[in-house]
Structure 1
């Protein structure tokens, strides 16, 4: 009888040291989408909940501000090219006159120097035009990877501003579970340790592994954040889903 009681006591002790937690599914590859150019939003092609593929067009910014810069760059290039043609004509004429000793060598060399200077100005003008044309690519904001749009903060007609979040893209191929664990339980967990996972809303059961143990930002809580990697088993699982976790005692 004493032996039976001892076995039961040991079993209950082990069970008592199992750690039960609740967690949330997160994406370990979540991107904030913003624009590099300021301008009015011409069209938004996604809504919250849209699934997108890498390279899909998310939204587009009106090109008016860049159009004016392009016209200025084209005008500047045209002016430099016209100046070059005029100087070249004079240069060729002066070379012929110099060959007949009708003009000084200094005048020819001066025109030659002016010609080289304008050539440099043309190169700069072409580079500026190329830079302006490259900005058109940044008006079409595309998905950097496959994923799900989980937040949308823009709409057509509003002003797009660099560094201001427009969309949040969550990568569904890089899901993990995030949970908080008390500091007092740290001795019972370790990296790579197996965790039983349950997602009640979709009747999902599985086994994951602790991939990260991170100190909490709030030192007052005396807790640590766990990240748990797991196989979705081709189930449709979304960030934000509630999960139940069980970390078996290693005692």
Structure 2
């Protein structure tokens, strides 16, 4: 029995020692050899470029706060609408019944108030003539105030019901175009469920993703040049918003740009390249590009997200999320997030993770 205990003790010490060595190795792992495709950017070009997408400045998914059947869909996708125009009608039979009850309660409260006011006025005159006591006047005053409060409460109930009617008739919050309808006549509308999507047709903006090495060089109000890929057109714009966090954008920073001019050929959803007119002080991870094709084997998938490992500062692996398009054999088209000459990791002699040290073969 003593031999067994001694053996177990020695084994435990050996495991603890191994665990400590393993922890030490994890914190000081060697660089993972990788194979890349593309060229590492080591030059200093006169501008920084980033890919992005055109979006409407004003956009909204409209929903309702009440439950009911959709009785009428007044618009279709692509239709221009004006501010306040009726888009969707939801059945409001329940509200009509509630409104009738509230109107009846207002009539009742109004009658009680009128009667209490007459009695109150009468007792005020009697009290002034010393024909009524202070106690009688106080009781009549209390009755009058209660009737007055009851009438006010009934009126506020009517205001609440009338406010709910606005959610049975969904109207356009601004002038624009209908981009999507999520329901049809006869469907059940639930609170918070999108019914119609509307985008403002007046002003467009560009949402671009900028790498961590370039974001510090971009300032609000900076003029930029925007290349619209699909129509081969160049327009100008100005930086309006800069995000200071890349927590939810795959290591890239969100920059919004207002367009100085637009025409009918420029549509929401088009992909663009944005040129920021500054000299780079560090290695940029974005370049202007045309069609970008990468092998499907290089993709990293997490749920509905698709990404690829790029080479970051200090020879580290940086996971970048992509928007992908069509598949051509063993290659897939990248619509946003990567450009033609940009280096990305094709294969690695080990398991990659965000921030892992790498050595290019």
Aligned to 1:49: 78
Distance change (3 Å), C-alpha of 1:74 and 1:250: same
> Which residue of 238, 246, 271 maps to 1:216?
246
Give deviations 1:191-224, integer Å, cap 9, x for gaps: 33332212133342112222222232337x3321
The reply on whether 1:193 has 2:209 as its aligned counterpart is: no
Aligned to 1:9: none
Q: With a CA cutoff of 8 Å and minimum separation of 6, indicate the structure with the bigger relative contact order.
A: 1
Aligned to 1:146: 175
Aligned to 1:8: none
> Which residue of 33, 37, 49 maps to 1:20?
49
Deviates more, 1:115-124 or 1:195-204: 115-124
The reply on whether 1:136 has 2:165 as its aligned counterpart is: yes
| Preserved contact between residue 59 and residue 200 of structure 2 (Cα < 8 Å) | yes
Question: Which runs of 5 or more structure 1 residues have no equivalent in the other structure?
Answer: 1-11, 99-103
Aligned to 1:31: 60
Compute the TM-score of the two structures, normalised by the length of structure 2: 0.53
Q: Counterpart of 2:214 in 1: which secondary structure?
A: helix
Give deviations 1:51-80, integer Å, cap 9, x for gaps: 211111111122201111122223333444
Q: Counterpart of 1:210 in 2: which secondary structure?
A: strand
Question: Which runs of 5 or more structure 2 residues have no equivalent in the other structure?
Answer: 1-41, 127-131, 281-361
> Which residue of 99, 103, 117 maps to 1:74?
103
Deviates more, 1:19-28 or 1:115-124: 115-124
Aligned to 2:269: 240
CA RMSD of aligned residues (A): 3.6
Q: Counterpart of 2:66 in 1: which secondary structure?
A: coil
Higher helix share: 1
| Preserved contact between residue 22 and residue 242 of structure 1 (Cα < 8 Å) | yes
Separation of aligned partners in 1, 2:221 and 2:145: 67
Compute the TM-score of the two structures, normalised by the length of structure 1: 0.73
Deviation at 1:171, TM superposition (A): 1.8
Deviation at 1:150, TM superposition (A): 2.1
